[in-house]
Amino acid sequence: MSRGVELTVSTEDEELDKLLDRELTAFNTAATGADDHTEVYIRATDAESGEVVGGLTGWTWGGLGAVDMLWVREDQRGTGLGSRLMRAAEDEARRRGCGRMTVSSYTFQAPPFYRRLGYVETGRVRGVPGGHVDVYFEKPLEPSAPAPPFQVAVVLDYPAGADVLDDALAHEERTLALLPRHGGRLERRLRTADGRSEVHLLTFPSEDAYRAFLADPERTPDGRVTARVLEVGEVYD
């Protein structure tokens, strides 16, 4: 045991934090030969209000990229913003020469989200309050390539009555007219003989573009129309 050394426990010590960061960075650099540790900050800001609606922090070091924190404001969840932040972080990591990305997430947070983005679980740390687990993920960063198109099939059932039906069809035409501003296309449009049902095959350059179409302020769903949306893909024999 060391003699003449006192231990002090506290909840905040900025001086110690800076000292440890400096000393451990020097030690890690000497051990690995990589001295390019750089932080990553990505801010998502509302174009009208200027408010921060999401953000990501992380770092890159010696060919490895990592995400420390990812947050999306509640009213922006489900719009694809989280995926955009992660892709921006991956793109920046690639730009810095990284070939792998790592992130961790508590089980009450977003493990399914990272799995959908191609991350693979590599380990778990138990003992998180509430009986939860900290899940660690990794993902290889392949060279950037064009993303496959995102396609959905929309099944629409219109209301009965000629006047109401005509009005509902006109509303749908206005909705379809919004597609080009988000890169979307109407590939096929099929209608039943009675005109009461339609199937639309829509193509977008990415899922983010599709989410942006759904969030378009000029797109107001018609409560008289029943719609069912299915994500689809090409089938080859």
For the residues 56-66, what does the mean pLDDT come to?
A: 96
pTM, full prediction: 0.60
Please report the pLDDT score of residue 237 as a whole number: 41
Higher pLDDT, 15 or 236: 15
12 pLDDT more than 90 = yes
Mean pLDDT of the chain: 90
Please report the pLDDT score of residue 151 as a whole number: 92
Cβ atoms of residues 56 and 70 within 8 Å:
yes
Instruction: Band the pLDDT of 39: cuts 50, 70, 90.
Output: very high
216 pLDDT more than 90 = no
Residues in the chain: 237
198 pLDDT more than 90 = yes
For 187-200, letters b (16+ CB in 10 Å) and e give eeeeeeeeeeebeb
Query: CA-to-CA distance for 177 and 6, rounded, in angstroms?
Result: 72
Higher pLDDT, 29 or 161: 29
For the residues 100-106, what does the mean pLDDT come to?
A: 96
Please report the pLDDT score of residue 235 as a whole number: 47
Reported as half-sphere exposure (CB side, CA atoms, 13 A), residue 71 has a value of: 11
Q: What is the pLDDT of residues 142-180, one digit of tens each?
A: 765 566 788 999 999 988 877 788 888 888 899 999 999
| Residue 148 DSSP label | P
Cβ atoms of residues 149 and 204 within 8 Å:
yes
For 130-162, letters b (16+ CB in 10 Å) and e give eeeebbbbbbebeeeeeeebbbbbbebebeeee
SS3 at position 219: coil
Q: Which residue has the tokens 């069912």?
A: 228
Query: Count of CB atoms within 10 A of residue 220's CB?
Result: 10
Cβ atoms of residues 139 and 218 within 8 Å:
no
For the residues 31-39, what does the mean pLDDT come to?
A: 92
Residue closest to 90 by CA, chosen among 119, 110, 111, 124: 119
Higher pLDDT, 147 or 37: 37
Please report the pLDDT score of residue 145 as a whole number: 57
Query: CA-to-CA distance for 207 and 79, rounded, in angstroms?
Result: 10
Please report the pLDDT score of residue 177 as a whole number: 93
